Every structure is written in structure tokens, then in C-alpha cells.
Structure 1
Amino acid sequence: MNQGPISSYWEKSALSQTDICIIGAGIIGLSTAISAALAFPDKRIVVLERGPRTMGATTRNAGFACFGSASELLQDIEVLGEDKALAIAQQRIKGLQILRNRFSDDHIKYEMHGGYEIIRDKEMHVLDSLDSLNKQMSQITGIESTYTVLNRREHRRLGFGQSVQAVIYNPLEGQIHSGYLIQAMESKAQSLGIRIEYGSNVLDIKENSKVMEITIQTLLGTYSMISKETIVCTNAWISELVPQIDIKPGRGQIIVTSPIENLSFTGAFHADEGYYYFRNIGKRVLLGGGRNLDFEGESTHEFASTEIIQHALLKMLQEDILPGKSFKIEYNWSGIMGFSKNKQSIVQRVSPHCIIAFGCNGMGIALGSLIGEQVIELLS
């Protein structure tokens, strides 16, 4: 008779039952686990992750610690209304504060170089709305001018192409190293007694009157875990386990250059309502985005790159960001983000023993820690 991965008395009595099971070991999953361990130190907590390490977008993002470019926030205000748009920005700021209180800047390689947005001809109208946006944002950030336009000397120093007509500066944003962030989160979770099981693909969750039964596939076979509370934190894959929740995937393609001699800028930059984003990694330049060129094609769970977006990213590097500079593309990857219909976070109990926790919409670094705290409110 073949034996499954959980067969012995010891395994079944100690490893197949838990108080809180969190599905997904990304930023939101580990943030939730850490918040749960701090709030309920006597609870047994297990995190299940199907990959050999977390993937999705957690370690495949751009490492932006930001809350929104001027053009993105103005678009959100137009589409969602002022109250909802500002509430989203406020949640992002609060989430970043929790993150930095939980981990030292050194551990996650946080760098406060500020956030920027390049303005080309089609975005010049944004400048006309900066005064009103600053008045709205001052209620949240506590400073009179969250967004200011660089003077011509500061602008020219950045070395951008002639198509860049203006540059907006935000002093409150920064950047992190996503790999070191997940290492810090794993270390913190394990120090709190949280068990993280990689290579554990959750196939199904079923609820009875008292517990959730979770069916888990591993390389050694399939087994079941019983949990009093189950929290689904699988971002773009939430609908696979909780189909009534409508989360759509969105792929983000990223390229990174070789080191650039005399690189003239540092910081996290946005363009075109946040659909493009770039930053320095030391002397390298990371550039990602372009999803708006093919919304339908990029609404996928497939990790891949496409010719249309790769061409657009390379052209932007050559013409707008690094004109006249010699470089090679040394890294190329994609990550899968999740998007709700209205850019709102979704933290809700969907059954007596199951909670979903979603809050990304491309802002997982900013929102993850806050989402974890919101889950605890439901558990309490």
C-alpha cells in the first residue's frame, strides 16, 4: 500500500491540524501570518505555499514603496470619486508605515530616494491639477505640497530625453529589495513559531460546521489538513479556491539593464498613470509596465514576455530614460498581479471559517502589512 505524505500517528496528530491556516506565502500571506502570531501567540499557525518559494508578484515586482503618482491619483479621483481615491492612497501610506515599523530599513534595503513621475506631451494636463491634488493629499500626508515640479536645472540633471517635458517629485516615496523583504518576512514568521510549508499546492477547501478541510497536493502525494480558520491570500489566484470573488490577473513585464556608467538619477519613477515604472538598482535601471498596450493579452496567469511590450520598454529606455547611453538587457522577468474591479482591497469573511485577503492592484508592498492587520480584526 502506498503511503501519503502524512501517514504516521505523529504526523497526523501534530502536523495535519492547526488553528489558523493561511494559503499563500506572498507579502499578504506572510504579513497576515505575522499579525496573527502577534495577536494570538497561543494559536498554531501554518502557511501553505505551492511553489518552492513565493512567486506571483512578491519577488517579481519592481520593489516600489509608493502610494501613487500624481496622474494615477487624479485618474482614480475621476473614476472612483475623491473620497474613495484618497482612502486608497491613505491605506497605502498606512501600510508602508506598518511595514517599516515591523522591519528595519537595512533588513529590507529600504532607500528613501523619493518618487518621481515623468511628464510627456500627452500628460502635460496633469500639471494643471497639481495644486488641487496637493490640497487633497495634504489631509493625508501632512505636508502642503506632496507633488512639486522640478526646476529646469534639476530636470536636466536627470539626463532624460527631449520627450520628457517635466518631472514631478514626491519626497515621501522610496524603494526596497523585494528578495530581502521576503527573507525578512520569512525569518520573522519562523521566529514567531509559524510553520511555512513550501511545495504544498491547495487543491480544494471544504467547510463543515466546525472546521475547514484543506486538500493539499505535494510531490509525495495528497493529504488533508483540518483548520479552525482558513485565510486565502493567493492574490491573482484567489478565484481558483473562492470562485465567487472576482479577481483578474494582470501580468507585469520587467527588464533590467547592465550597469550604467555615470547613471544620472536615483529614485522610483512612474509614467502614464503608473502603467510604466522605472528605478535604479545601484547603477542598473529597472523598467517595467506596458500592460495598457494589451490589456486582454496581459490578463493571464502565464509567466512570459511578449514582443509588443518588450519592444515598447526597450524604446522607452533608449529614447526617454537613457538617451545616448550604451547598455544591455541582462535580466528579464514577469510577475502576476491581481486586480479587483474598483481598485479596492477585499478583506472579508466568505463563510464561517474562511476569510479572503486581497489588496494588491499592483500595490502589494504598500498594502500587504495593512491587509494583515485588517484580517486580525475579523478573526477577533
Structure 2
Amino acid sequence: MDSMRPGSARLARLSLLAGTVARGWIGRLRLGGLRIGGPPGPTPSEGTLPDGARILSESHGSGAGHRDYKLYIPSRGHGRRMPLIVMLHGCTQSPDDFAAGTRMNAFAEQLACLVAYPAQSQAANAQKCWNWYSPSDQRRDQGEAGLIAGITRQIIRDHAVDPRRVYVAGLSAGGAAAAIMGNAYPDLYAAIGVHSGLACGAAHDLGSALAAMRRGAPVPRRVYAPVPAEGRRILPTIVFHADRDRVVHPRNGDQVIIQAGAADARMAAGLRVEVQRGRAPDGGHAFTRTTHLDAAGRPVFEQWVVHGGGHAWSGGSSAGTFTDPLGPDASREMLRFFLQHRSPAA
């Protein structure tokens, strides 16, 4: 979020999500142990790349501005078009931090996927939060939504990407931005993942952002700009949210699913619902997974509630910030979900 006005004593610092939370929330984040846990998983980085893999530092510019991004290219899969996952970090994070915490590059190496990490500019937001609460950044082909879409299209143009297998996911402010991308660009992305985020249009300024974070938005709004007719469809959506998240109320995860189903209420009503309860390995968190399946048994919506977790990437590595190594593994499950879906039109 934007910097605080001078003299504000109530808001202490910018949080992972929206840039401003009460001091008590920050204290609970620290006590929750989000930065500690088991040993980090193997994550390819500039210094430890497998032979043939690359990490590129690129940039994209348009009338809406300029953003840098990192692109992981795996060592395998060359010679054919690969899936692309666009990963949107949370506040105070960077592409390298987010890659280390999610271990997404390690999974991408195994599955032969490209992974892009757009970087929010500190000039656009002092704490590097995506401005998910700003109406000018929620509209198709405008603001930050337009820049993220531009990065996606640039990678599709310049690399061996299967345009029917392009996905976007994010954490916190990045999760809210991913929800915006899904609403504004259902013709560009085959599926989306929202971790500890909010529905598109959950806020329109700082005050409504804080209210939505505390208790959820009253009525999440729909797409802000026209979407091509061939792109209008229910967008497969996977949500992770912990039930002890003190930064973003867990109700926001419910609202992301509700909003996704609103694109075609009749179709959503015809989905078969399954509920699974389990626990992550090695004494990890318990979870409830609710899956909405189509007639072919393919998941259209999937919602994971992590019991006892906080505001952190579930199953992530302590090599990155704002992770909870006690699982379940959000990166693994999002990729599984994503790769079951392809866009009907490229």
C-alpha cells in the first residue's frame, strides 16, 4: 500500500499483504514462527542451477510503466512448448525471496515448466506491495494488471510457451493481484492460485482494504473491463488460506471461490463437491480440502483450509520469508491443479 500519512501512530508498519497492519498483527506474525521450520528444500538459484537451466533477468515496459522480472527456464523440456506459471510475490518480498520460499523453481525443473516472477517496483509502492486495492490497477489492460499481462504475453512471444497452459498465482498482495488477473484475463490464464489473498474488487482504497483484510469484503465485485466473448468462462481456481491468519481474514478465501463461480452460476451449481480432511506429513498442519468437480471428475475449484497456520506460504521453505514449512505443500498442489487445465482458446 501507499506510505502512511505523517503523524499516524495507529499503523506501525507495512505488512506482507497490504502495506499497513496494526502492531498487534505484526507481533502475532513474529510469534507464529513464520520464518522458522525444517531445512529448506532444494531450490535452483543463480549459484546452483542444474546444467542447462537458466534464470533470466528481464524487463517489460508499456504506457502503464515498467517492471522487471525473473524467468526460470528448466534444463529439460527444450524442443517443445512448456507451461508457464506467473508468480506474484507479497509485500516486502522479491522474486528471489519468493522463489526460495515457494521452491517453485525446483518443481518447475521436475515438471519442465517456465516460471516468471514479476517484481513490484518500490517506486510504485514503498513496501513493494502490488496495489490490489487501487481501481486503476484492477482493470484490464491498465495499470499493474496490464503490466503483469504484458510480461506474460512477452514471455509467450519470446520463449517456447504453450499458450493454452499459462497460469498465475500469488501470495497475500500477490494473491489478491492473481485474483484480479483471473477476473480481467480469463482468456490469457488457464487457471489461477490465490494464497492468503482476497477477491478481485474487495477494496477500492486504503480504508476498504483494511476492512476487507479484517473481515472480508461485503460483496466482491466482478470484472472491471470488457473481456472478449471467447474468453468469458469459469476460471479454474485453487485457494490456500489458513484459519489462524491474523492479517487476512480466512473469509476472503471463501469469497475468492464464490466470485470464481459467479462467472457461470448454473455451471457452478452443477459441480459435485467432495470434502477431504487430512494432515501434512511429519506432524504438520491438519487441513480440509473442498473440491468442486465437473462431470469428468476434474477439479474446477479447490479450496484448502490449513488448520493452525498463519499468514504464510503453506509448505514453503524457511529459505524464504513468510513461509510455513509445516505444510501442506501449496506449490506442489497448485502445480498439480494447474496442469490439469488448458485454456479453450489461446
TM over 0.5: no
Using the size of structure 2 for normalisation, the TM-score is 0.26
- Structure scoring higher RCO (CA < 8 A, sep ≥ 6) equals 1
Query: Structure 1-normalised TM-score?
Result: 0.24
Higher radius of gyration, 1 or 2:
1
Structure 1 or 2: larger helix share? 1
